[in-house]
Amino acid sequence: MENFAVFRTPKTILYGRNAFENVGTEASQRGKKALIVSDKIMDSLGIVSKCRNLLEEQGVQSAVYLGIASEPTDQYVSESLEILQKEQCDIVISLGGGSCIDTAKAIAVLATNGGYIGDYMRERKIASNPPVPHISIPTTAGTGSEATDATIITNTSSDVKMMIKQPAFMPEVAIVDPLLTISAPKNVTAATGIDALSHAIEAYLSRKSHPMTDTLAVSAMKLIVENILTAYTNGENEDAREAMALGSLQAGMAFSNSSVCLVHGMSRPIGAIFHVPHGISNAMLLPAVLEFSKEACVERLADLGRIFDLNNESLSSKEAANIAVNSIKDLCVKMNIPNLKGWGIDQSTFETVVDKMSVDAVESGSPANNPRIPTHDELVKLYHVCYNYQFSVEETVN
């Protein structure tokens, strides 16, 4: 840790069952007309019309953008920004998974700062004007994006998932209502749950971790480890959904103020090129990357192992670190996570892009935060290991 650390969060966070009912009140304190950034699935579940009604009850008008049909691209950003401007909206409300939230973050900043979203990558352009107030409402648990100052948008010309991180992208308000996640199907629950777990683990292992982020990361790891399988197998279980929503929020705050590391760095190119959902591509990588990193972070991985194996106080750090890796493999098996080959990625296509993926991973900046920083050749090798990874105890990296 340097001499001091900075910790940023949304100005207001409402969390818990029925927090969503307050969206009208929060919006009416910030503007007169909201653009709701959502998708057709949320609309078909009646959540978008419920949001509009709650806004109307408090005298807030609304317009809607429902064009998000995949993880966010620069095209969704320009389409939704156009509606925001045409409809003269003075608030943005994201209602959906990370894809809706990240799109909304981008337009909230672009509306007042201008330019192309990619200009803001690696702080080439700084958003110095305050963004349009953004109320983020996640329906997955989750990306934690409701409480992070990052947005990830695919550049459709270069097939790069651009990682953009600046304080202006932080939503002003986060409303985290676990009841909104009940309808998430099994595959979404698995992908987003592992994403949240990856955030907590990477925030804790990161070279940028500090005591404030450690507290949240450890709490998030506990909540997620103890509840992820129940939420997956019994999605109606409100207690498990509530714990996952809270864990995801805490993990988001942790990594936003610490960082993500090698898993996310390697995951984004898989998403950009092969369109694998973000949480699934993280899960494909997580156990192998932890094995690769283990020697450089035995004590911290051991803390995770002790969360998985609560009753065993006599474990050495090395044994506990191994339990952490093997327990993650086991989780992946129980939640039917495929390897890249099993997802249907053609081997010869994979071979032609693995070099570009390794370069793009490093370019995102995240691998440099990992306890063990890979060389280019090690990255290429790790991608190959993950292509055929078996998630079994016998499987080893190095």
Q: Interface with ligand NAD by CB under 6 A: which residues?
A: 39, 41, 71-72, 96-100, 102, 139-140, 142-145, 148, 150-152, 180-181, 183-184, 188, 191-192, 195, 278-279
In the bound complex, what is the minimum distance in angstroms from residue 126's beta carbon to ligand NAD? 18
**Which is nearest to 62 in space by CA: 40, 98, 41, 38?**
38
Tokens found for residue 261:
């590391």
Q: How far apart are CA 261 and CA 368, in angstroms?
A: 7
Q: Which does 279 bind (CB under 5 to 8 A by kind): Fe ion, ligand NAD, none?
A: ligand NAD
The residue among 195 and 291 lying less far from Fe ion, judged by its C-beta, is 195
Shortest distance, position 86 Cβ to ligand NAD, whole Å: 24
Nearest approach, Cβ of 145 to ligand NAD (angstroms)?
4
Residue 148 or 206 having the CB closest to ligand NAD: 148
Is-contact 74 117, C-beta < 8 A?
Answer: yes
**Cα(206)–Cα(204) distance, integer angstroms:** 6
Min CB(6)–Fe ion separation in Å: 21
Helix (H, G, I), strand (E, B) or coil at 239: helix
Beta strand ranges found along 112-184 (DSSP E)? 134-138, 150-155, 160-165, 173-176
Give the interface segment with Fe ion, choosing from 113-121, 187-195, 308-316, 330-338 (CB under 5 A).
Answer: 187-195
Pick the closest to residue 176 from 104, 101, 122 (CA basis): 101
- Which of the choices ligand NAD, Fe ion, none does residue 327 contact, using the CB cut-off of 5 to 8 A by kind? none
Q: How many residues bind Fe ion (CB under 5 A)?
A: 1
For ligand NAD, give the closer residue by CB, 117 or 180. 180
Q: Name the closest residue to Fe ion (Cβ).
A: 195
| Sheet of strand 173-176, all strands in order from the earlier edge strand to the far edge | 12-15, 173-176, 134-138, 91-96, 33-37, 61-65
Of the chain, the end-to-end C-alpha distance in Å amounts to 29
Least Å distance, CB 322 to ligand NAD, is 28
HSE of 238, CA atoms in CB hemisphere, 13 A? 6
Element (H, E) at 37: strand 33-37
Pattern 191-230, Fe ion, x by CB under 5 A: ----x-----------------------------------
Residue closest to 145 by CA, chosen among 47, 36, 185, 153: 153
Backbone φ and ψ of 268, nearest 5°:
-60, -45
Residue 74 makes contact with Fe ion by CB under 5 A: no
Closer Cβ to Fe ion, 90 or 195, answer by number:
195
At residue 151's C-alpha, the angle toward residues 183 and 331, to 5°, is 50
Q: Is 146 in the site for Fe ion (CB under 5 A)?
A: no
Closer Cβ to ligand NAD, 166 or 192, answer by number:
192
- C-beta of 326 vs 366, nearer to ligand NAD: 366
Q: Which stretch binds Fe ion (CB under 5 A): 82-90, 146-154, 190-198, 219-227?
A: 190-198
Cβ nearer to Fe ion, comparing 177 with 195: 195
Q: Which helix (H) or strand (E) holds 106?
A: helix 98-113
